[in-house]
Amino acid sequence: MNSAARHDNGIAVAPGDAAGPIIVLSEPLSFWGGVDPATGVVIDVHHPSHGVSLAGAVVMMPSSRGSCSGSGVLLELALSGRSPAALIFAGPEDTLTLGAIVASEMFGRRIPVIRLPDEAFVTLSSATDATIAPDGITADGGRLRISLGATAHDDLQLSPADHRMLAGAEGIAARQAMRIICAMASQQGASDLIDVTRVHVDGCIYAGPANLIFAEKMEELGARARVPTTMNAISVDHANWRRQGVARNFGEPATRLADAYVRMGCQASFTCAPYSLPDPPGFGEAIGWSESNAVIFANSVLGARTAKHPDFLDFCIAVTGRAPRAGAFLDEGRRARRAIRIDLPDGADSSAWPLIGYLAGLASPDRIPLIRGLSKTQPMPDDLKALCAAFGTTSAAAMLHVEGITPEADSLGGAAEDEILVTREDLAAGWRKLSSGPSEVDLVAIGSPHASLDECRAVAERLGGRPLAKTVSVIITAGREIIAAAEADGTMTRLRESGVDIIPDLCWCSITRPVFPEQAKVVLTTSGKYAHYGPGLSGCTVRLGTLDDCIEAALTGIAPARLPAWLAEPG
């Protein structure tokens, strides 16, 4: 053993014992929409490791990306015994780390989480198997040894009120929530905690029993939100799922999950676009939001301040009113570290924004970018929503800056260390990647994130009361506030006249059959986010299209895969 190659300075973020074969993921992965919570198999069709089982393996990847709900998927896998044996990252990572912390803190299921420096990460990546202990990793029969230290807990400064919660003076639930927050703060390197004015909870989506077990456990402990707390889209239309034919073994626990959070003081907003609710956060306001698109929009477009909080941490913040002062709460955590210049053709329309966001995330998977080349555009809020949602699908960053458009681009966008050019050819290749598939379309999906009133109006106006093709369904998912406004101004009537279904409470990343039509095999969407996640979540071909493509498909059943007019070569 003394002759083994040694690499020091690894950190056991969540210590424990494990052993298994090493699986190296060459690029980050979102566990939500990227890993089957029932089996541990990678279902993201755009990921190089699609089809690989992570169950029982020592999984190495640079970091995670995408959805805040990855923590819930990891907890689901932990409780069913199908989780990775351990997770090893090359840098900071929050979402899966939080899932592992909750699994250990609340359920006694340990999944070691390790952070390695670059050299040690590369060396271990060439090994075939590893054994992990709290003080080190051995690999390939002991020929490789990497020492591990622990995260420093003593550096976290707590207020007297924090100490009272941690001691149990505010109840068992607050103590448990504060323990989880402190564990997260320590691994993030936070110096202290910060007060937040409001929270948005993402863990109300039912991905399996684990989310419900967590919520009902917290309710049993007496948890109660102490700051205004909104809720993300859930997994069923709360009032109508029985009439829609949703199976009881899914509908009932999904409803129980939503109801548990409502009983604990959360608002039954049920939207993945909380920035569309009345009284959105203001510039500089410290908030505790989850849901990747919402976090990125709040930070980037509104100028509010929130970390990209994983599921479960969001509710712990609601219970305590406190969050780790780290990441995008700090100026340093909001600075651009990479510039991305977009060679945007003249005449680009709203369909450019999800594509730009998607490609920007791929170009900047682990750092905040400053996007250049768009200052002459005049994006609407829905364009920026599409940009942020698609960016959050392919990047782990909590925000982006757009030169000449977003409020902090001038003050915090100037520290880029390098610049990447996204050419017209790159845009075309990205569009083809997300839009390939059959011309025949069975389902048009609008509202990922939830559709705005303007988006609902645009669909109604384009359809003009004409009936849908008999072979096609069109479904819009939207928040309750938006649907009420659309009812009031007649938009809902116009949509129903054409045969469009408008569904509240759930969104495309949580919709299930039979609400998702049983016969649908090919789906067309305007959402870059759903074009990426949809194939793995639904088992269908999901194509990105323009709004014109979607209307054409709705009326005829046909929309060929093609570049949008602004991107097609002239001639």
At 253-295, the pLDDT tens digits run 999 999 999 999 999 999 999 999 999 999 999 999 999 999 9
175 falls within a domain: yes
Mean pLDDT of 130-139: 96
340 and 323, same domain (yes or no): no
**Other beta carbons less than 10 A from residue 197's beta carbon:** 14
Q: Is the pLDDT at 2 greater than 70, yes or no?
A: no
In this structure, the answer to whether residues 448 and 515 fall within a common structural domain is: yes
* Cβ pair 337, 331 in contact under 8 A: no
Residue 155 forms part of a structural domain: no
Q: Nearest to residue 254, comparing CAs of 205, 203, 317?
A: 205
Task: Report yes or no on 343 lying in a domain.
Answer: yes
Distance CA 269, CA 557 (A): 34
Asked whether residue 560 carries a pLDDT value surpassing 70, the answer given is yes
Question: In which domain, by residue range, is 36 found?
Answer: 5-150
Tell me if 427 is assigned to some domain: no
Mean pLDDT of 204-232: 97
Catalytic residues: 67
My answer on whether 198 and 322 are in the same domain is yes
Residues 186 and 288 occupy one common structural domain? yes
249 and 201 share a domain?
yes
- What strands, in cross-sheet order, belong to the sheet with 401-402? 401-402, 369-372, 338-342, 419-422
Contact between 358 and 530 (Cβ < 8 Å): no
Mean of the per-residue pLDDT values of the chain: 96
Instruction: Give the per-residue pLDDT at 570.
Output: 66
CATH of the domain at 454: 3.30.499.10
Q: Are residues 103 and 245 in the same domain?
A: no
The pLDDT of residue 512 is above 50: yes
393, 422, 451 — which closes off a domain?
422
Query: Residue 98 in contact with residue 184, Cβ under 8 Å?
Result: yes
Question: For residue 257, is it within any domain?
Answer: yes
**Of 387, 402, 422, which residue sits at a domain end?**
422
Does pLDDT of 154 surpass 90?
Answer: no
- Residue 568 in domain: no
Task: Quickly list DSSP for 300-369.
Answer: III--B---PPTTHHHHHHHHSEEES-GGGSSGGGS--EEEEE-PPTT--TTHHHHHHHHHHHH-TTS-E
Q: Are residues 203 and 304 in the same domain?
A: yes
For residues 302 and 339, membership in a common domain is answered with no
Domain assignment present for residue 566? The answer is no
Give the separation between CA 448 and CA 528, rounded to whole angstroms: 8
Q: Is 340 found in the same domain as 324?
A: no
Provide the CATH number for the domain around residue 88. 3.50.30.10
- The pLDDT, as a whole number, for residue 153 is 65
| CATH for 291 | 3.30.499
Among 307, 329, 351, where does a domain finish?
A: 329
Check pLDDT > 90 for residue 352: yes
Q: How many domains does the chain have?
A: 4
pLDDT digits (tens, 9 = 90+) for 108-130: 999 999 999 999 999 999 999 99
Q: Say yes or no: 100 and 244 in one domain.
A: no
What are the start-end ranges of the E strands in 209-255?
Answer: 229-231
Question: To which residue do tokens 């990227």 refer?
Answer: 34
Do residue 113 and residue 221 come from a single domain?
Answer: no
Q: For residues 484 and 384, state if they share a domain.
A: no
- Residues of the chain with pLDDT > 70: what percent? 98
Query: Residue 149, exposed/middle/buried by CB under 10 A (0-12, 13-18, 19+)?
Result: middle
